[in-house]
């Protein structure tokens, strides 16, 4: 056998080995995700809570601790890049779906508009200030190895400020609150929080990438703004015409389709191009997916069809990969001193106090009763998936340490787990018409 043929055979065997272990990891992750979501639903929790917890348990926090040999065989026998790439593709598709389902009508809801504005502002400002102050103080101890204190402070502040709009939407549906004024206030305030939160994350990411050079930062911000403007006023009309044209085409069976195959292919290509564009502009690719979804947010038939055709696959296949990828980075055992657990308790406590108290006090200020104000406070404290996306960005940029990453993951879990039990306790005390 020639040297070239031998090298080719070795390369084939290596590729097959990577494929084998990637498939093994996917098998474990997908089945574990289904188990976690089923158990969470039985305990009255959002399915995402179970998937997040299972993802962490598959990491060094439990699986790696109890069975290090099996853990290393499953997750460390091959390079981690395939799973990482799959998790990022899943996030890009998920962010497109979130942008696509974003209902801007909530932001112009006249009923209780004053409550919406005050709750969203206070629920964003107070946790941002508390998170920024805490992040600045702990940067020397828990910041990234080469990160400036300002970068750590801004990322912690943004993580404290975010509200998980998708999870909140699921919770409102579960508790039959989508048509109640209290639910409208919550989803509207959370929507504003999410818009501002993503803008903050994009700006903070740009600031970190530009290494705090005013010229580079201004250039990156200007490029992102230009991309958004061109997308909204240039690409959006073209995409909407394409969607309308594709939906008017009648297939052979005579039934019109909201998302025919050709349109799906074009949309996927556009999503990936948008993701590549934002990456080239110096911010993470997920923003490109979100932006493409926002461009088509008012195409409700398209949003419903995407959810039916792609949404379940993204939820069942891609999301558990992301949660497991996050879990592999989370090592609860690394918090091995009382001091670290004290910092963790402080992170969770300040994040909860900032969100809950800011929203509660704002609701009371505009005249809502105590029970309704408490419900708004706990709803706005829900973070879950959005929080994990934010802190993964911060970890990838090196502005938060592994220990701080673990603390913020625990904060995201805590803030979401407490939501359903407290709603069951406080909702019955609300007035029926609320």
pLDDT value of residue 3: 43
Residue range(s) defining the domain that contains residue 231:
89-318+339-429
Residues of the chain with pLDDT under 50: 3, 6-7, 434
The verdict on residue 401 lying in a domain is: yes
* CATH number of the structural domain spanning residue 177: 1.20.1530.20
Task: Examine residue 55 and state whether it is found in any structural domain, yes or no.
Answer: no
Res 434: pLDDT:
43
How confident is the model at residue 194, as a pLDDT? 73
Give the predicted TM-score (pTM) of the model.
0.79
Quote the pLDDT of residue 57. Answer: 92
- Would residue 63 count as lying in a domain? no
Position of tokens 């990322």? 155
Question: How far are the Cα atoms of 35, 45, 279, 314, 434 from residue 50, in angstroms, in the given order?
Answer: 8, 8, 31, 16, 30
- How far is the CA of 307 from the CAs of 82, 259, 311, 313, 335, in angstroms? 25, 10, 4, 9, 39
344 assigned to some structural domain: yes
> Which stretch of DSSP H or E encloses residue 376?
helix 370-380
Residue 81 in domain: no
Alpha helices in 102-235 (DSSP H): 113-142, 149-161, 165-174, 181-209, 214-230
> DSSP string of 334-374?
G--SHHHHHHHHHHHHHHHHHHHHHHHHHHHHTT--HHHHH
CA 301 to chain centre: 24
Residue with tokens 């080239």: 280
Beta bridge partners of 232: none
CA 197 – CA 199 distance, rounded (Å): 5
- Is 40 a domain residue? no
Q: How many domains does the chain have?
A: 1
The answer to whether residue 270 is domain-embedded is yes
**pLDDT score recorded for residue 252:** 58
The distance from CA 425 to its chain's CA centroid, rounded to whole angstroms, is 27
Q: Identify whether 125 is part of a domain.
A: yes
Q: For residues 31 and 25, what is the distance between their CA atoms, to the nearest angstrom?
A: 10
**Which tokens sit at 124?**
């964003």
């Amino acid at each position: 056998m020639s040297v070239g043929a031998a090298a080719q055979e070795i390369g084939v065997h290596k590729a097959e080995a990577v494929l084998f272990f990637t498939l093994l990891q996917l098998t474990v992750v997908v089945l574990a995700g289904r188990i976690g979501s089923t158990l969470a639903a039985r305990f009255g929790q959002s399915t995402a809570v179970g998937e997040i917890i299972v993802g962490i348990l598959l990491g060094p926090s439990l699986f790696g601790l109890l069975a290090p040999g099996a853990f290393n065989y499953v997750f460390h026998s091959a390079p981690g890049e395939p799973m990482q790439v799959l998790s990022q593709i899943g996030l890009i598709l998920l962010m497109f779906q979130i942008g696509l389902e974003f209902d801007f009508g909530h932001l112009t809801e006249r009923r209780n508009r004053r409550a919406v504005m005050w709750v969203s502002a206070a629920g964003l400002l107070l946790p941002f200030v508390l998170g920024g102050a805490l992040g600045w103080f702990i940067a020397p101890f828990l910041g990234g190895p080469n990160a400036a204190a300002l970068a750590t402070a801004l990322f912690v502040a943004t993580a404290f400020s975010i509200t998980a709009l998708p999870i909140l939407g699921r919770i409102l549906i579960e508790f039959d609150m989508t048509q109640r004024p209290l639910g409208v206030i919550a989803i509207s305030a959370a929507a504003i929080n999410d818009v501002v939160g993503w803008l903050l994350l994009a700006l903070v990411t740009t600031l970190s990438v530009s290494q705090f050079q005013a010229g580079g930062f201004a250039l990156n911000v200007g490029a992102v703004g230009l991309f958004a403007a061109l997308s909204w006023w240039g690409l959006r009309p073209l995409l909407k015409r394409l969607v309308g044209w594709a939906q008017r085409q009648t297939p052979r069976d005579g039934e019109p389709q909201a998302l025919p195959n050709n349109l799906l292919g074009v949309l996927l290509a556009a999503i990936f191009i948008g993701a590549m564009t934002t990456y080239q502009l110096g911010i993470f690719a997920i923003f490109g997916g979100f932006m493409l979804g926002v461009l088509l947010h008012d195409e409700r038939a398209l949003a419903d069809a995407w959810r039916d055709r792609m949404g379940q696959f993204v939820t069942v296949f891609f999301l558990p990969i992301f949660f497991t990828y996050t879990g592999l980075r989370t090592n609860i055992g690394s918090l091995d001193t009382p001091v670290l657990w004290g910092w963790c308790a402080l992170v969770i406590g300040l994040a909860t106090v900032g969100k809950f108290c800011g929203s509660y006090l704002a609701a009371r200020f505009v005249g809502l009763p105590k029970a309704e104000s408490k419900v708004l406070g706990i709803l706005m404290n829900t973070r879950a998936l959005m929080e994990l996306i934010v802190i993964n960005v911060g970890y990838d940029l090196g502005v938060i340490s592994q220990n701080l990453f673990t603390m913020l993951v625990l904060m995201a879990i805590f803030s979401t787990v407490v939501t359903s039990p407290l709603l069951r306790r406080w909702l019955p005390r609300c007035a029926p018409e609320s």
